[in-house]
Structure formats: structure tokens, C-alpha cells
Amino acid sequence: MATQKTRTAEQVKKDFEARGETIAHWAKAQGFPEHTVYQVLNGFAKGKRGMAHQIAVRLGIKAEPTRANAA
């Protein structure tokens, strides 16, 4: 099983800057509220569950959850 490499919020922010893409544009394109994406990137939302978790996974800050009992 391959291990997914995660990135820090700072790395994600630098990637946005390097691509010339705004966080607001990414949030809208992904269907997430802009303020929630900023909360995840700035550490106000830890991404433990719900939408914040989905955002953290999509940004690569958290690894994709594995299904231990998937049949």
C-alpha cells in the first residue's frame, strides 16, 4: 500500500501563489465556501470531520482516509 505524502498549509499556500491561482477561485471551483477553506489553511478549522476534513484532504493537508473493512 502506497503512503500518500501530505503537505503543510504553508506549502499549499505557496503552491497557489506559484500557480497564480487564488484560494477563493479554487474554493468556488471545488464547491467549498471560501471562508471555510481559509479557516483550514490558517489553522482555525483542524479538518477533523465534516467539510473542513474534506477540504483538508482535497488540498493534500490530510491523507485520504482508508477503508479498513471495505469488501
Measured distance CA(50)–CA(42) in Å, rounded: 17
What pLDDT score was predicted for residue 58? 96
Tracing cell 477553506 back to the chain, one arrives at: 37
Measured distance CA(48)–CA(36) in Å, rounded: 13
Residue 4 inside a domain? The answer is: no
Residues 32 and 55 sit within 8 Å (Cβ to Cβ): yes
Model confidence at 7, in pLDDT bands (50, 70, 90)? very high
Residue 4 has pLDDT above 90, yes or no: no
Q: How many domains does the chain have?
A: 1
What pLDDT score was predicted for residue 30? 97
Q: What is the pLDDT of residues 20-71, one digit of tens each?
A: 999 999 999 999 999 999 999 999 999 999 999 999 999 999 998 887 655 5
Residue 67 inside a domain? The answer is: no
Q: Where are the alpha helices (DSSP H) in 1-71?
A: 9-19, 23-30, 34-41, 50-59
What range does the domain containing 20 cover?
9-59
Residues 47 and 53 sit within 8 Å (Cβ to Cβ): yes
